[in-house]
Amino acid sequence: MQELCFGMVSQEVILLQKALQRQNYYLGEIDGKFLNLTYEALKRFQKEHYLVVDGLVKESTWKVLEPYIEEIKDDNKKVIQTDQEYSIKQLKKDVQKLKYRYPFLQIEAIGFSVLQNPIYGIQLGWGKKEVFYTASIHANEWITSLMLMKWLEEMCESYVQEKLLDGYDVHAILKETTIYLVPMCNPDGVDVVTGNIAKNSKAYEMVQKIAKEYPEIPFPMGWKANIEGIDLNLQFPAGWKQAKKIKFEQGIISPAPRDFVGNSSLCAVEAQALYHFTRLHDFRLILAYHTQGKEIYWQFQNYAPKEAFEIGKCFEKVSGYTLSDVPYASSFAGYKDWFLQEYQRPGYTIEAGIGKSPLPLSQFDEIYKDNLGILLLGTSL
């Protein structure tokens, strides 16, 4: 890139101004003129990034600005690509890109997986009301992560461009509601299913050993658990002992690709992260995304408030899914179950798509279309 200095007028100055604007250093007009506002913004950027504060854009400054420049060049491209399998590696890239493009997003690691992958929590909005959406607590249901991330990008884009999303005023939503997302609760498990665990690693040897104990469960496509063979949606203190009894009777008595409840509730670090994050907030409503069946589960041991059924019927109407009771064998120790028991507020497990998990990407557009109304309505109730 060309070296820039005070007084220059060029396309490179426009890139500089946009990059500085994206990080809230430059608040002036994007005019390609390297004058006082650009000069002062640049010096603030250099100081905060431990560069030589000289007001010149040399190679060292361009290098630090490079990720923002690339984002600007790709501004017309969608960040979230829905034609490829998802993984924690891709999620990390997408989170970074979305943060560059939409700096109002708040992103943190609410915890770390067994393999020390971040469990990302993403905040969008500024309202007093809080809602919480999760995906991929089960590894082979990773298509739900892709769905949440696509929705996040469309929400951000609609906010910036001041346009409606499926008839909803996103500005109004974000003024009234703060949306929290954990798009990939089980990153290690997702990587098992999508082939992103190195086959010569100790982690892969561990999951192979676990899988061999349960040869009737296809490996890796049948893997739902975390890397230690604990089913994260059987980890919550809401009938955990009953879940253990049911699963042990089914023969799942040790770490397994699915349905092992663990040695105690909340013994898995990923479940602990969700539990503690929920405790820190005051969620009005939660959606826990799974696949498959095109069903909406709304109740647990009669803890759901009366309004939960009515909201569920609204979700049913906008999605075409069926509001249902959970089958008894799957009725205990889930995240949604614990939320209902603990808070007596609306909480739903959404079983997206239909077929055998992992669902093919050919279903993605239909899944997204079916669930867009649920995702938006959940923010507005």
The residues annotated with a catalytic role in the active site are: 351
The CA-atom distances, in angstroms, between 111 and each of 117, 150, 301, 325 are 9, 23, 29, 31
Q: Give the span between the Cα atoms of 222 and 192, in whole angstroms.
A: 10
Q: Give the span between the Cα atoms of 109 and 129, in whole angstroms.
A: 22
Q: Give the span between the Cα atoms of 272 and 334, in whole angstroms.
A: 13
Count of other CB atoms within 10 angstroms of residue 14: 15
| The residue to which tokens 């949606």 are assigned | 233
- DSSP state, residue 350: E
Q: Give the span between the Cα atoms of 222 and 292, in whole angstroms.
A: 13
Backbone torsion region of residue 55, taken as left when φ is above 0, otherwise alpha when ψ lies between -120 and 50, otherwise beta: left
Of 362, 364, 301, the C-alpha closest to 336 is 301
- DSSP state, residue 325: P
Sign of the dihedral through C-alpha 10, 13, 17, 18: positive
Bond from prior residue into 103 cis (ω within 30 degrees of 0) = no
